[in-house]
């Protein structure tokens, strides 16, 4: 059990420390002793919480839901087209989509993601797969993955379709495809749309429902391409909702406030070359090397002996700091 948890922890640190996208959660550090990762603070919880109006929070508007769908599509395209290897998340669901202060979405939990090497003989990433035992959350899992054990980028597309149907209807994932298909067949999709989201524009809602059902096709070959088909629908919808792609801010911090996780615990200055140490904390590389070169073998934060002296560059946090510094 502990070996499995450690493997998941190491995998997430490896993935999230190397990637940077506005809709990927920013990794701040890790705590191996507690089998925990430390992310940037996202005050609006998860999409699952918001769809269920947890703690009597106000519901998400239909405009916010379209923006979240577009942001999720964008980050999936980024992961699937990553070089030299595609990254399949493998466990897309609303509880793994976190929301910042402006309800911008951040994809998290890469514990069971898979890295798929690009096949030099194939230019189509949809045909590449990773054979593995089925893992994830049943209601969001690709049926072909369940039956064959082959995980592909189209497995994420299936999960994306289920999430899109949930954004539209607010209903649970189990049985949602049949429910929406029946409503479309009967011509009464309006009765199924989540009234808490406000007055959905029916043409857009129907377009999204049809696209989501295509994403949920049982045969993965019948599912749409995210770039050439899904994004072409979602991007103009997002723009029409007033969502600008340049509106990204790091966490909930305004320009005048330095996010505390940008500060090196040793130098007490904004980090230029952040690295994760064995204690799970992120430090300025120069500061920690100075600490180690001074004969220390313990954590500057906990005073416990470090398991090893290796430093892992936190490239994602470095990019986040640079973006913050470049804001006007």
Dihedral, CA of residue 197, residue 198, residue 202 and residue 206, to nearest 10: 0
- Name 115's bridge partners: 87
Radius of gyration of the chain (CA): 21
Sign of the CA dihedral 58, 62, 67, 71? positive
Dihedral, CA of residue 153, residue 159, residue 164 and residue 170, to nearest 10: -170
Task: Say which of 91, 100, 109, 156 is annotated catalytic.
Answer: 91
C-alpha closest to that of 75 among 30, 152, 16 = 16
Instruction: Indicate if 156 belongs to the active site.
Output: no
The residues annotated as belonging to the active site are: 91
């Amino acid at each position: 059990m502990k070996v499995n948890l450690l493997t998941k922890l190491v995998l997430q640190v490896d993935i999230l420390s190397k990637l940077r996208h506005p809709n990927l959660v920013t990794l701040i550090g890790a705590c191996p002793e507690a089998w925990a990762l430390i992310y940037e603070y996202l005050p609006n919880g998860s999409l699952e919480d918001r769809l269920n109006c947890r703690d009597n929070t106000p519901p998400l508007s239909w405009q916010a839901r379209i923006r979240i769908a577009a942001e999720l599509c964008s980050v999936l395209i980024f992961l699937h087209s990553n070089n030299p290897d595609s990254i399949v998340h493998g466990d897309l669901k609303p509880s793994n989509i976190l929301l910042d202060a402006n309800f911008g979405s951040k994809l998290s939990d890469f514990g069971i993601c898979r890295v798929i090497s690009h096949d030099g003989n194939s230019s189509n990433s949809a045909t590449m797969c990773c054979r593995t035992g089925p893992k994830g959350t049943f209601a969001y899992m690709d049926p072909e993955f369940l039956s064959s054990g082959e995980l592909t980028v189209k497995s994420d597309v299936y999960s994306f379709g289920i999430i899109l149907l949930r954004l539209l209807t607010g209903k649970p994932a189990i049985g949602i495809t049949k429910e929406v298909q029946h409503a479309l067949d009967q011509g009464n999709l309006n009765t199924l749309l989540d009234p808490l989201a406000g007055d959905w524009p029916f043409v857009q809602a129907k377009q999204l429902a049809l696209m989501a059902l295509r994403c949920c096709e049982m045969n993965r070959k019948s599912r749409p391409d995210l770039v050439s088909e899904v994004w072409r629908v979602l991007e103009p919808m997002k723009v029409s909702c007033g969502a600008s792609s340049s509106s990204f801010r790091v966490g909930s911090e305004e320009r005048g406030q330095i996010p505390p996780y940008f500060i090196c615990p040793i130098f007490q200055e904004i980090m230029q070359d952040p690295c994760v140490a064995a204690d799970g904390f992120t430090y300025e590389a120069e500061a920690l090397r100075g600490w180690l070169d001074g004969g220390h073998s313990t954590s500057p934060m906990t005073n416990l002996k470090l398991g090893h002296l290796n430093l892992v560059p936190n490239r994602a946090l470095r990019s986040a700091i640079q973006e913050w510094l470049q804001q006007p």
